[in-house]
Amino acid sequence: MELIDGKATAATIKAEIKAEVEQIVAQGGRRPHLAAILVGHDGGSETYVKNKVLACEACGFQSTLLRFEDDITEEELLACVSQLNENPEIDGFIVQLPLPRHINEQHVIEAIDYRKDVDGFHPINVGRMAIGLPCFISATPLGILTLLQRYHIPTSGKKCVILGRSNIVGKPMAQLMTQKQYGDATVTVCHSRSQTLKEECREADIVIAAIGQPGFVTADMVKEGATVIDVGTTRVPDATRKTGFRLSGDVLFEEVAPKCSHITPVPGGVGPMTICMLMLNTLSAAKKEFYK
Ligand code: GUN
Query: pTM of the prediction?
Result: 0.96
- What distance in Å separates the CA atoms of residue 11 and residue 273, rounded to the nearest whole number? 9
- Of residues 25, 107, 99, 109, the one with CA closest to residue 59: 25
Residue 61 has pLDDT above 80, yes or no: yes
Residue 51 CB–ligand 1 contact under 6 Å: no
Once rounded to an integer, what is the mean pLDDT over residues 75-104?
98
User: For residue 4, how many other CB atoms are within 10 A of its CB?
Assistant: 25
Provide the 8-state DSSP code for 98. P
Ligand 1 centroid distance, CA of 195 (Å): 30
Domain regions of the chain by residue span: 28-126, 139-270
Across-strand partners of 206? 160, 227
Scanning the chain, the segments in alpha helix (DSSP H) are 6-26, 43-59, 74-86, 105-111, 123-130, 139-150, 170-178, 197-202, 253-256, 270-286
In CATH, the number for domain 139-270 is 3.40.50.720
The mean pLDDT value for 29-33 works out to 98
In this predicted structure, the answer to whether residue 96 has a pLDDT above a threshold of 80 is: yes
Architecture per CATH, 28-126: 3-Layer(aba) Sandwich (3.40)
Query: Is the per-residue pLDDT at 291 higher than 90?
Result: no
pLDDT band at 140; cut points 50, 70, 90: very high
119 is catalytic: yes
Distance 189 CA to ligand 1 centre (A): 22
* Cβ(230) – ligand 1 distance below 6 Å: no
Rounded to an integer, the average pLDDT of 144-159 is 98
Active site residue 52: yes
Catalytic residue among 14, 96, 223, 250: 96
SS3 for 2? Answer: strand
Predicted confidence at residue 203, as pLDDT, reads 98
Please state, as a whole number, how many other Cβ atoms lie within 10 Å of the Cβ of residue 244.
10
* Domains 28-126 and 139-270 fall in the same CATH topology: yes
Q: What mean pLDDT do residues 20-34 have?
A: 98
Percentage of residues in the chain having pLDDT higher than 90: 99
Q: How remote is the CA of residue 271 from the centroid of ligand 1, in Å?
A: 12
Q: Quick one: pLDDT at residue 154?
A: 98
Phi, psi angles (nearest 5°) of residue 152 = 50, 40
Average pLDDT, the chain: 97
d(CA 118, CA 134): 13
Q: Is the pLDDT of residue 90 over 80?
A: yes
pLDDT tens digits, residue range 169-219?
Answer: 999 999 999 999 999 999 999 999 999 999 999 999 999 999 999 999 999
Active-site annotation holds for 159: no
In this prediction, residue 292 carries a pLDDT of 73
Over residues 230-277, the pLDDT tens digits come to: 999 999 999 999 999 999 999 999 999 999 999 999 999 999 999 999
**pLDDT exceeds 90 at position 59:** yes
